[in-house]
Amino acid sequence: MIRLPTLSAAVAFFALAALPVPGAAQTGPCGPDGHTQTCLLEEAMILSGQRKRGVGDIQDMLAIAAVAEASGRVDMSAFAPRFFARLEDRYPYGPVLLDLLDAKVCLGHGRGIGPVLATQMARRIPMLEREVTAEDRRILGKDFDRLHVVAVCLALAGDIDGLHALIAAHPGRASSLAGGAANRLMWLGEREAARDLMGPTIWRLGRIKS
């Protein structure tokens, strides 16, 4: 069952539920141009920004994305660029957006966003990290380290190879990165993948300590 934690998510859900199957003749507030789903999701994202800012807005946006992907009726490869463009237009200062994209990004309500958007999130967060300067860290008093978020997003995306590569590149943080990702895999019912992830990590930790 899909939870609807916010008004904007509910708007997106019921808009999707009311739509005919793709390819059928479409009418309504977005017109008969065959892009009604995209238009309604855009309206839901705009509504989110009008009602809230900051953490509340991000939570609404993630809920909208989760509903869209869970519906199975939205082309997420086309939706993801619109999603990030909307966020970056609303929060053009990279460090502010990065600060909002914390550990809840790939957790959220229930099972959170789906694997397609999680993959895009795992790619986008390091790009935002590269925009943060030493002066940003000094003024805002934050380190803006989002490696743990990237790890959890990779787990949600099912990118086990990407997880192993991330952990291998940061051996000093192997335990925490693998632990967070493994917890997410367990939550998703991927117990074998979680065990496979933790096994090499424990071996690497033994080598580091010795």
For residue range 3-31, list pLDDT tens digits in order: 545 555 555 555 555 444 445 444 444 55
* pLDDT > 90? residue 125: yes
Residue pair 81/27 in contact by the 8 Å Cβ criterion: no
Q: What percent of the chain has pLDDT over 70?
A: 73
Residue 76 confidence (pLDDT):
86
Q: Which carries the bigger pLDDT value, residue 167 or residue 112?
A: 167
* pLDDT per position as a tens digit, 17-74: 544 444 544 444 455 544 566 777 777 787 777 777 788 888 888 888 888 888 888 8
Q: Give, in order, the Cα–Cα distances in Å from 19 to each of 16, 73, 125, 154.
A: 5, 10, 33, 31
**Three-class SS state of 146:** coil
Q: Give, in order, the Cα–Cα distances in Å from 170 to each of 52, 59, 131, 178.
A: 36, 29, 20, 11
Residue 42 confidence (pLDDT):
77
For residue 208, what are its two tokens? 């580091």
Residue 44 confidence (pLDDT):
79
Angle ∠(159,113,101) on CA atoms, nearest 5: 90
| Domain map (residue ranges) of the chain | 1-90, 114-210
Average pLDDT of the segment spanning 80-99: 89
Of the candidates 76, 67, 188, 91, the residue with the CA atom closest to the CA atom of residue 121? 76
